[in-house]
Structure 1
Amino acid sequence: MVNEHALTVSLEEFGLSNYEARAYVTLVAKGTISASELAYYSELPRTKVYPILLKLEKKKLAIISKSKPRMCTSIAPVDAFDDIIQEQINKVNAMNTLVTNLKKMSEDSKKSRGAVEKRYFDLSANAVLSQLRTMVEGSKSRIYIMVDQWGLGLLAECKDQMLTVLRRDLEVKIIIPPSLLGSESIKAIPDGAKIRISDIIQNCFIFDETELMLIDSNNGKGAIFSSTEILGVNQMKVFSHVWKNSMKIDSLYDMTKSEAQEVYRIIRLVNEDALGHILNASLVSKNHDIDMLEFLEKNGINLRSKSLEELITIIDSSLQMVCSGRANLEPGTKNITIESRMNSGHSLPWAAIITGYLQKQGHRPRLVYQNQAHKGEKVHIKINS
C-alpha cells in the first residue's frame, strides 16, 4: 500500500504547501469528489478547501466543476508534473554545468600556481583491518611497515595474509617501538619478516612503493594514498633512514617479555650513560677494572644473581643488536670471546661487564683487546681462578 504521508512530504519538495499536497494526494486516491468530501478525506479545514482547490487549479494540478455542488478532479500525475519535472531536470543540468566550470577554473588556477589536486581515501575504523588484509595479500614485491602497539595488533591479525606473501618471497620489513619487545603480537608475526626496533610514533604501511596506508591509533581510522606522490616518497626516505639506524631483535625472539626488556634496558644504559666513560678508561688509562655491575645495579639491573651462562646469553644478545657482534663461552677452556663488527671500542663496555662479574665471583680475569682494522674488534677474556 502506498504511504500517503510520504507522498505528501515528497510533493512539498516540489513546492506545494502541506495542505495542497494533502488535497492532491486525496484527489488522486479518491478520484472525482466534492469539496466537502475532500475536506473530510484529507482532514483539511472546510474553510480552507476551496482556496486550496483554486491554487491547485492555478498550478494545473486539479479541475473544479462550474456546477454545484462543486466537484473536483486531479490532473493525471504524468500530465500534472511533466513541466515541473522538466524544470527540475533543467536546474540539475545547469547546476552540473556550473560545478564543472567552477572545477575547471579551480584546476586551472592551481596549475598556474604549480599546484595539482590529488585524492586519497578515508577509511573508517571498522574498514581498516579488512583493507589492510587486502593490501598485504595483494602486494607484489615488498612491504615496509612502521607501527606502534595499535598497528602491530592489526598486523598480527593479518597473519594468514603475511604467510601468503612470505611464501612468495616478498621482502617484509617491520619497525616497532622498544616497548613492544617480547609482546605476544610480535610472536604472531610469521618467520621471514624482518623486525627491528626504533622509536616509532606512527602507523605507516608502504606497499610496493606504490601505495601508502596511514592509521591513527587514537581513533582507529585510516587513509590510503598513492605513494608515488611526494608524501609516499618522503615516507620511503623516512623508513629507510629509521631502518638503517634501528636495532635487530632476532636474538630476543626466544626470550620472555621481561628478559627482552631487560636486555634493551642494559643496552640503553651502556650506550647512553656508560660508553664514553668506559672508552676513556679503557683506551687512555688502560684500566679495565671499572665496576660496570655496580653501575648497572644503581640503575635497577642486577646481574650478580645470574649464572655465567645466563650472563653470556644477555651479552651475546646485546652485541648482536648494537654492533652485529657475538659473545661466546668456549666450552672446557672457560675462555670468553667477544666480537664486534664495529671498531672504536664498542665491545669494551660488554667486556667490562663480564670481567666485573667474574671478579665478584672470585676470579682474576685477564683481558686482551684486538683491533682488526676494518674488520671489527675482538676481546679475549681468560678466566683465572
Structure 2
Amino acid sequence: MHQKSHSSASIISSTSPASGDLPASLEEFGLSKYEARAYLTMIGKGSLAASDLAYYANLPRTKVYQTVKKLEKKRLAVVSRQKPLICSAIPPEEAFGEIVNLHERRVRNMRKIVERLQRLSDEGQRPRGSEEKRYFILDPDSALSKISGLVAGARSSITAALDPWGLRLLAQCRGQLIKAATNGARIRFIVGAQCLGSESLSLLPDGIELRMAASDATVSSNLMIVDMTHMVSVDSSNGKAALFASLDAYGALQAKNFEEAWTRAGEAKHALEAQPALAAKAIELARAVENGLAAHMLEYAMNNEDPAGELLEVMERRYGLRVGTMSAPEMLDLVDSALKISCLGGLKHDKSNNIVSLQSKAEGKHVLPWAVVLASYFKRSGNEPRIMQSKQSPQLVHVRLARPI
C-alpha cells in the first residue's frame, strides 16, 4: 500500500509540471476541472481503466464515471462498453480542431462587423450630401507624360497659370501644343513676372494667347485645365503633380479664378519684346503703385497736401525704386512699359504742346496714380507739372509741363 501511494504521488508530480496551467486553459474550451484533469491524464498515459484514471488524475472515484461520460459526449474521449471500462482520449487536433475553426470563423465575422460599423461611423461623420472624390499623384516623369497626352488630345481649350517650372514643362510639349491648336483648341497661358527672360517663352509655338500676371498678383503654383474635364496641379518644389479626372466644385472654382486672373492680367507681348531689365523694373513700379503708392497718395489728398514733392523719396525708401536719376525719355519709357503690362494702356508724348497723356484700357485700373508719379518726377527736375483729367474718358489723364523735354 505504501508503494502504491508513492507511485501515485510520483505520477501526479510528473504530470503537473509538464501540464503547467493547461487544466485552467482547458476551461476556455468549456471543460470542468475534473474533465480537464481526466483528459490531460489520458493524453499523457494513454488508455486507462476507470479506476486507474481516477487514481492518476486525482479524481474522486464517485466522479470518474460521470466525468468520462461528459468527455465522451463532448467528443473528447471514447469509453468502452465492456467492463472494466477503458477510457481513451481523442487526439487534441481532432478533438479541438473543429472548436478552434469555429472560433476563427467567429473572429473573422466579428472583424467584418467591426469594419462595417467603422464605415457607418465614417459615413456619419461625413457632411450630408457630400461625395468623395479622388485624385492621382504623379511623379515628375509621369506628370510630363500625362500632361503631354492631355494637351495633344485637347479639343476645345487649354488654360494654365504658370511659374518658371510649369512654363518649362509646357515648353517641352511644343509638338502637342501645335496639335491642339490645329484641332481648334483655344490655348491661354498666364505667366508670372519671374518668367521674364526665360528661354522657355521662345519655345512656345505661335497661336498661344499669353498674358503676364497682374502686377498685384503672384503666380506661385502651376494649374492647368484641359477641355474643362481634366485639371493638373504641379508642385514646383519637387515636380510631382496631382491629376483630377473631373472638374467638380473645386475645379469649377479654379476655372473661375483663372478667368478673373485673365481679365486682370496684362498683355505679355510688350513685356516679352522689351529689354528684360526695363520690363522687370516696369513690373516693380506697377506693383509699387498698385500695392502701396496709391494709398499713400490718397492719404496726402485727404490731408490736402501735395504728394508730388516727396513721392520719389517714398518710392526709393519703401520700394527701392530709384527713378530720380533717370533721364526724362527713360522715365517716359518706364511708365509706358508699366502701363502696358499692368492695364493694357500706354503713354503718349505730345511734344508740340508739352503734354504727356496716360491711358488705361483695363476696367478698374485708373491712371491718376501714374500721373502723380510723373508729376513728382518732373517737379523734382524743375519742370512744373499740371495734372488734367480728360472729360471724354475717366481712364485718360494728361500731364501738362511748363517747358519742353
Under a length normalisation based on structure 2, what TM-score does the superposition of the two structures give? 0.59
State which drifts further: 136-145 or 233-242. 233-242
Secondary structure of the structure 1 residue equivalent to 2:357: strand
Give the CA deviation at 1:117: 5.2
Native 8 Å contact 2:347 2:356 kept in 1: yes
Change (3 A) 1:284 1:229: same
Give the CA deviation at 1:194: 2.4
Task: Output one character per residue of 1:211-232: Cα deviation in whole Å (capped at 9) or x when no partner.
Answer: 1122222322223222333332
Native 8 Å contact 2:231 2:246 kept in 1: yes
CA distance in 2 between counterparts of 1:323 and 1:219 reads 34
Letter in 2 for 1:378: V
- Give 2:185's aligned residue: 170
Native 8 Å contact 2:375 2:399 kept in 1: no
Which of residues 160, 179, 195 in structure 1 aligns to 2:211?
195
CA distance in 1 between counterparts of 2:288 and 2:189 reads 25
- Give 1:230's aligned residue: 249
Change (3 A) 1:250 1:161: same
Secondary structure of the structure 2 residue equivalent to 1:253: helix
Change (3 A) 1:338 1:242: closer
Letter in 2 for 1:203: N
- Give 2:373's aligned residue: 353
- Give 1:276's aligned residue: 295
Letter in 2 for 1:265: E
Task: Output one character per residue of 1:333-379: Cα deviation in whole Å (capped at 9) or x when no partner.
Answer: 44311123479993222222223333344423333223546x53322
Native 8 Å contact 2:343 2:365 kept in 1: no
Taking only aligned residues, the RMSD between alpha carbons, in angstroms, comes to 3.7
Native 8 Å contact 2:360 2:396 kept in 1: yes
Identity between Structure 1 and Structure 2 (%): 27
Letter in 1 for 2:143: V
Native 8 Å contact 1:366 1:384 kept in 2: no
CA distance in 2 between counterparts of 1:150 and 1:313 reads 30
Secondary structure of the structure 2 residue equivalent to 1:199: coil
Letter in 2 for 1:140: R
CA distance in 1 between counterparts of 2:184 and 2:381 reads 49
Secondary structure of the structure 2 residue equivalent to 1:232: helix
Change (3 A) 1:279 1:188: farther
CA distance in 2 between counterparts of 1:283 and 1:340 reads 24
Secondary structure of the structure 1 residue equivalent to 2:341: helix
Change (3 A) 1:369 1:345: farther
Give the CA deviation at 1:110: 6.4
Letter in 2 for 1:261: A
CA distance in 2 between counterparts of 1:381 and 1:250 reads 29
Native 8 Å contact 1:166 1:193 kept in 2: no
Return 5+ residue gaps in structure 2 as ranges: 1-111
- Give 1:369's aligned residue: 389
State which drifts further: 248-257 or 208-217. 248-257
Letter in 2 for 1:381: R
- Give 1:317's aligned residue: 337
CA distance in 1 between counterparts of 2:362 and 2:158 reads 29
Change (3 A) 1:148 1:324: closer
Task: Output one character per residue of 1:91-145: Cα deviation in whole Å (capped at 9) or x when no partner.
Answer: xxxxxxxx9xx99x979x9699755555544433212212212211211111111
Any residues of structure 2 matched to 1:206-355 within 5 Å, and which?
A: 206-281=225-300, 285=304, 287=306, 289-298=308-317, 299-341=319-361, 346-355=366-375
Letter in 2 for 1:171: R
Which of residues 132, 141, 156 in structure 1 aligns to 2:171?
156
Native 8 Å contact 2:387 2:397 kept in 1: no
